[in-house]
Amino acid sequence: MKAIKTVAISALVVLGWCLSGAAAAQDKPIVLRYSNMFPKNDPLSIVAEEWGKEVEKRTHGAVQVKYYPGSTLTSPAQTYDSVVKGVVDVGNALMGYTRGRFPLMAGIWENPFEYPDGLTVTRLCNAAYEKFKPKELDEVQVMYFNAGPEAVLHTVKKPLVKLDDLKGMRFRSLDANAKLLASFGATAIAMPQPEVYDALSKGMLDGVASVYSNLRAFKTGDILKYTLELKGMAFTGTFVVAMNKEKWQSIPLESRKIIEQINKEWIDRHGRVHDQNEADGKKYAISKGMVISQISPEEQAKWNAHAQPFYDEYLANMKSKGLPGEEMLAFIRATLKNAGK
């Protein structure tokens, strides 16, 4: 009888250890490693870091975010792949760095639409994703998209007056914008934004297609001296905040619902930061003595003539892939038409 009691007590002790161990494992927070290319103190870095803090706050610490700004964990061009492969858990990835990977969504940033501001593009990207749910993003769990306004042209040694001035110049550019610049005789060179400063300082580049905010964030305003503003650049920096799918599935359902709500709130918040950052970037450019010019109507017409065929190229590409290109373009036009109402 005494032996039976001893065995029973031992079993209860073991069961207690198992239960306490399971509870401890359950209480252990899930840690997400978040990679972003923007430097720590840049507003576009701060708003991303605040997303992580909000996740931690609202999940009561069940989900924690360890934030890595300034490309310290992954290079900008590898951020998306790093999320897919689980090298990082979350990344704010510039979609233009992986040309051809997002064919349908690229209709937003590879066509010469005239976007009024970053908030409009940000809302458009998120609405387009919800409408079309393109399989091209099935490798990750999309949190939300964010985008800046249209880029402008910055140069080092000479101002651009006519588009013929582009001939023979070397510009850092991406996507369809690179083809547009090349159509005017420029040489377009693709490179991640953090590498542009060195390329400019060593004379490898004569200019960049870039937003104003990068002048301050990546210190290129110390070298660039002139700016030409034009419309329909076919170059707006579009980012996807993506999470590794397995990591997402490891998060309890209740916490996932909380994160999804935060994502919805961060769409406008992140888009507005892009626009405020751009306004501050232009003020910074002026304070540095940069000469800012607007393209003449005649030269803008030349640009438009070179840009218009891009719509047909996009539609042909989408048709060859069996993707709804016409529907995407119609959706973009309708959204822009209603944006100002």
Q: What is the pLDDT of residues 129-166, one digit of tens each?
A: 999 999 999 999 999 999 999 999 999 999 999 999 99
Give the C-alpha distances (Å, rounded to integers) separating 316 from 100, 307, 309, 325.
14, 15, 11, 8
- pLDDT above 90 for 1: no
Please tell me the predicted confidence (pLDDT) of residue 197: 97
Q: Are 239 and 92 in contact (CB under 8 A)?
A: yes
Residue type for position 188: A
| Spatial separation of the C-alpha atoms in residues 305 and 239, rounded to whole Å | 28
Tell whether the torsion through CA atoms of 206, 208, 213 and 218 is positive or negative: negative
Q: Are strands 207-210 and 170-172 parallel, antiparallel or unpaired?
A: parallel
Looking up tokens 């200019």, which residue turns up?
Answer: 207
Please tell me the predicted confidence (pLDDT) of residue 11: 44
Residue type for position 231: K
Residue 294, classed as helix, strand or coil, is strand
> How far does CA 223 lie from the centroid of its chain?
25
Nearest to 245 by CA among 123, 102, 84: 84
Tell whether the torsion through CA atoms of 107, 113, 118 and 120 is positive or negative: negative
Please tell me the predicted confidence (pLDDT) of residue 12: 43
Give residues with Cβ within 8 angstroms of 327, minimum separation 6.
Answer: 132
Per-residue pLDDT tens over the stretch 76-98 = 999 999 999 999 999 999 999 98
Predicted model pTM:
0.89
More confident residue, 207 or 175: 207
Per-residue pLDDT tens over the stretch 208-260 = 999 999 999 999 999 999 999 999 999 899 999 999 999 999 999 999 999 99
**Domains in the chain, CATH or no CATH each:** 29-339 (3.40.190.170)
- At 175, the pLDDT band (50, 70, 90 cuts) reads confident
